[in-house]
Amino acid sequence: MKNVVLPYNLKEEVYKRLDVFEGLLPELKRILLELWEDDLEVQYKSNELDLVTKADYISEQTIVHFLQSRFPMDSILSEETGKKEPIVNHIPSIHLKASEFTWCIDPIDGTINYSHHLPLFSISVGILYKDIPVGGIVYIPALNDLYRAVYNDGAYKNHKRIFVSQTSDLKKSLIVTGFPYNRLEMLDQLMKTFQMVLKNCRGIRRTGSAALDLCWVAEGRFDAHYEWNLSPWDTAAGSIILKEAGGIIVNERMEEYQPGDSLMIATNRNIHQSFVELILNSIA
């Protein structure tokens, strides 16, 4: 973790935020599953692989309005509409200091899956304190699975404690990955790394939701996850859940991963050294 002094009441503040946000999940589930049967009005952002749907916008607007009404001193960073300053910054008559907390929101992580009626999509909401992930929720509406974590207080699935796998042999490990939207620009690198993983591990999977991938490493379904060019909203929640479940997550410099780093390598700890070396050797 960065050299940041955390407040004495950090856990209390993070728990308060997560508990309040969890109350919105039934409504978000209803919205997303109802819209699933509707015309999604698919649009494209950076390219034809980078989708956004009506459901993304409605989910995000619902989340943002909910958070701003309850935590007006917090900042919000969301995938579709970007950074929003605390509401109190825009009310001169209110002499309150904005908090150091930022909500990092992906209203639908796995939009392509969602648009194809695949149930592997999630709502990912991380809480940052001075850019450090300190809490997070990842919710999978179609499966009704809820993952939560608070800094230094463990990770949970449906309110039961979870831990990473105990796999210690790279040959017996199951790996998950994803491909960036600019995949054609780095296709050779992606294929080289993919081949290295196939040759040295039991198998490799791709779900299409990085937040879900990190949670499935956290609960031991997968042993490691690697991916390039993820955005902060993809990993802010999943990274704290993974670490609190006992995993390790680093970047290409073998430093602690921070949301927005160009390469993320997340492991169950036991295969960490060998798997990181495998991925980095594929880059050399």
CA distances from 215 to 71, 85, 136, 190, 237 (A): 26, 29, 11, 23, 9
**pLDDT reading at 46 higher than 80:** no
Longest Cα separation, the chain: 63
- Residue-level pLDDT at 7: 86
CATH class of 10-161: alpha beta
pLDDT (0 to 100) of residue 88 = 54
Query: What confidence score (pLDDT) does residue 174 get?
Result: 98
Nearest to 74 by CA among 83, 228, 200, 229: 83
Query: For all residues of the chain together, what is the average pLDDT?
Result: 91
Residue 94 has pLDDT above 60, yes or no: no
- Overall pTM > 0.75: yes
Region 159-181: mean pLDDT is 96
Q: pLDDT (tens digit, 9 = 90+) per residue, 211-261?
A: 999 999 999 999 999 999 999 999 999 999 999 999 999 999 999 999 889
Of 34-48, 119-133, 197-211, 231-245, the one with minimum mean pLDDT is 34-48
Cα distance between residue 218 and residue 237, in whole Å: 12
The domain defined by 170-283 folds into D-Maltodextrin-Binding Protein; domain 2 (3.40.190)
What average pLDDT does this structure show over 42-47? 70
Q: What was the pLDDT predicted at 87?
A: 65
Judge whether residue 206 has pLDDT over 60.
yes
**pLDDT classification of 89: cutoffs 50, 70, 90:** low
pLDDT over 90 at 1, yes or no: no
Confidence check: pLDDT of 83 > 80: no
Alpha-carbon torsion (192, 193, 194, 195), positive or negative: positive
Residue 103 clears pLDDT 80, i.e. is over it = yes
Q: Nearest 5°: CA angle at 249, between 245 and 252? A: 175
So what's the pLDDT on residue 17? 97
40 pLDDT tier (thresholds 50, 70, 90): confident
- Mean pLDDT is lowest, of 23-37, 39-53, 62-76, 264-278, for 39-53
Domain ranges of the chain: 10-161, 170-283
